[in-house]
Amino acid sequence: MQLPGSTDRAETEVTIPSLATSSKRSTMNRNQPWSLTLTNWLGFIPFALFCLLFEILPAVMVIEGSFTNSDTGAFTWNNYQRIFSQPSNLHAFQTSISLSLVTAVISTVLGFFAAYGLYQVRANWVRNIVVAFSSIAANFAGVPLAFAFISTLGVTGFVTVFLLNWFHIDLYHTLNFSVYSFWGLVLTYSYFELPLMILITLPALDALRPQWREAATSLGASNITYWFRIALPILFPSLIAAAMLLFANAFAAFATAYALAQGAINLVPILISFVVNGNVNIDTGLGDALAVGMIVILLVAFSLYTAMLRRVSRWQGK
């Protein structure tokens, strides 16, 4: 038999320690954030200063300079009007976008199949070697890469001479190929874009849960059905995000194209270099306007990249 009020006393005995514990925790939580916040901010300050000095302030100065007359320093819209009125400027954007899109699509498709083949390999040492090579090749660009392709596929390059002497195949006269042309740049850009795609795609393939394949197999789905109905729709946002990253990487590349083509191909980064360095005449206002155009295109690419990453984080449970 339970006496009246015994339940209340029991609840009170349980409640009082819990209230004491919660008050103790709240006191600790009130004291703890200050030290944690201070430590986090101390670690973040160097990065914030770097972004401010080398990214935000230069971008603000470029945007301001795009609305400034190079001769008088007055406010003007003429810099942007010349972008749309001069065919060479529009052609530079068209060529840069086309080059970046073609390179991104080729590298995305080939890189996905290469990453999938590497994903199926059971030997870890093979995967480690390919990942190590991809990490090096993805960062091998600029003048050294241009010189490597000139030495390999140039007019007197090793591969060019080898094909001509042994197989009587003339790349430049018979096949109309040139490493200094648009498709030569596509091939050169793919050298560092393809390994980058492999590095990006491997984590996405590793994130595919084995339970999904097991569930599909138990329901009678074949391997092709699993990939086209389950895996590829799940990986599609990751592939689009990777393609946008490759597009931005190729669109902003300068040293490789300049060293390889020497201005023969009209690209926006090369055009900005000519305008600012005075290849014809110095016009910093037009150069700033061209740079703002590049920023806008890159912002569109990174916006799509961020949107796709949000979709990826849903099925990954992050």
Range 122-150 average pLDDT: 91
Query: Which phi and psi angles does 68 have, rounded to 5°?
Result: -120, 135
Phi and psi of 69, rounded to 5°? -75, 130
* Whole-structure pTM value: 0.84
Q: Average pLDDT for residues 299-310, to the nearest whole number?
A: 92
Q: At how many degrees (to 10) do helices 284-316 and 232-251 cross?
A: 160
**pLDDT score at 161:** 94
Lowest mean pLDDT among 13-27, 106-120, 158-172, 183-197: 13-27
Residue (of 84, 78, 85, 56) closest to 285 by Cα position: 78
**DSSP H/E element including 43:** helix 6-51
**What's the pLDDT at 48?**
87
| For the chain, counts of helices (H) and of strands (E) | 14, 0
Q: How far apart are CA 5 and CA 157, in angstroms?
A: 97
Amino acid at 310: R
Lowest mean pLDDT among 57-61, 67-71, 160-164: 67-71
> What pLDDT score was predicted for residue 6?
44
> Measured on CA atoms in the order 218, 224, 225, 227, is the torsion positive or negative?
positive
* DSSP H or E stretch at residue 285: helix 284-316
The identity of residue 248, as a single letter, is: A
Q: Place 22 in a pLDDT band, splitting at 50, 70 and 90.
A: very low
pLDDT tens-digit profile of 268-286? 999 998 888 876 678 899 9
The average pLDDT across 181-195 equals: 94
Domains in the chain with CATH codes: 88-317 (1.10.3720.10)
| Residue 237 predicted with pLDDT over 80 | yes
3-state SS of the chain: helix, strand, coil percent to 5? Answer: 80, 0, 20
Is a pLDDT exceeding 70 seen at residue 28?
no
In the beta sheet, which residues pair with residue 75?
68
The average pLDDT across 284-302 equals: 94
Residue linked to tokens 């806008």: 296
Over the stretch 30-64, which tens digit does the pLDDT of each residue have?
545 555 566 767 778 888 899 999 989 999 999 99
CB atoms within 10 A of CB 306: 11
Percentage of the chain exceeding pLDDT 70: 86
Cα–Cα distance measured from residue 130 to residue 146, given in angstroms and rounded to the nearest whole number: 23
Say yes or no to pLDDT of 168 above 80: yes
Which pLDDT score is estimated for 72? 85
Q: Average pLDDT for residues 307-316, to the nearest whole number?
A: 81
Q: Is residue 177 within 8 Å of residue 171, measured between CB atoms?
A: yes
Give the whole-angstrom CA distance, residue 49 versus residue 58: 13
Q: Which of 106, 109, 258, 132 is nearest to 187 (CA)?
A: 106
Query: Residues 6 or more apart from 142 whose CB is under 8 A from it?
Result: 255, 256, 259
- On the question of pLDDT at 232 being above 70, the answer is yes
How far is Cα 117 from Cα 114, in angstroms, rounded to an integer?
5
Which of the four pLDDT bands, split at 50, 70 and 90, describes residue 309? confident
| pLDDT, position 299 | 95
